[in-house]
Structure 1
Amino acid sequence: MLVVAVLRLWADFISSPRQADPLWQNGLSAARVDPDGAMAFDTLFRIVVSSVRRPLDIHRPHCQMLGRDELRLLDMVCLAQHGFHDEAGVLMADWMPPAAVRMALPPLRLFACAMDRAGLHVPMRAAASSPPAPVHASADRGAGLVH
């Protein structure tokens, strides 16, 4: 839940930077994820947004459904936490070209390690067991919120 909430709040903050305080950082801090983990998350998604090939299925902060790309992120964090970095890169390749994937893998690994140090583990195959929600296309690229 934390990873999805942080992603949604990050996307909301990026799409409306008029907020003075990036709320997405508060959840990570409350969960005792170190500041390096928060910076890695921010770096990861700045790379994603700058190089994404298609709109990402990221829902609004209070939506009860999971988007396909939210599930994909859970799988990537899980794989990175279990040392399957190449496999996480394969999932990431659905979002970005190979050069961007190579740039995004180190911050993904750093974020996954920071979550691990905080005692937060995404169970293996947990995200894959949830049925994906329907994708709602958007005219925007990147981390636009769909609903």
Structure 2
Amino acid sequence: MKTRILSTALAIATLSGLLVASPAQARDGVSSGRTERPSGGNGYAQVTVDFVSRTKVVFRKLKVRDLCPGDNLPVKARIVYKHTTGTWRTLPWKKDTNGCADKGTNFGNFTLSRSRSISAVTLELCVYNRKSDFHCVNTTTRYNQYVHPGR
């Protein structure tokens, strides 16, 4: 009887540990990036990525921030996503045009839902020095655990 209870308790503990620490949960998380130009124009962007299925991603708390110097030029960011066919697509730009004195522009939460599978997403951030001189960086690529279970 004691052996059966101990075995059952051990099995429940093991299964609970697998449910809590599954590798699929490691794919979601915060993506953020910062870029700086020696001649001016600094920016920051951040979003939390939450893959819901093969075809649906929820983005939470997208924030774009213009960091000093106050040059009256925008900082912009956009979501870039990849289909399993290898095709990359982009969502519209989100801009912080409030200058460097504020805490940035918060765009809230939004959902990307497509008919084809979404393989990966990244956040692209661009800052301007002049209207025709800009510099862009991409944040860490997040892979969809429903498409790439072992990645």
Task: Please indicate the TM-score interval, normalised by the length of the shorter structure.
Answer: under 0.3
Does 1 or 2 have the higher relative contact order (CA < 8 Å, sep 6+)?
Answer: 1
Question: What's the TM-score once normalised by structure 1's chain length?
Answer: 0.25
Give the structure with the higher percent strand: 2
Give the structure with the higher percent helix: 1
Question: What's the TM-score once normalised by structure 2's chain length?
Answer: 0.24
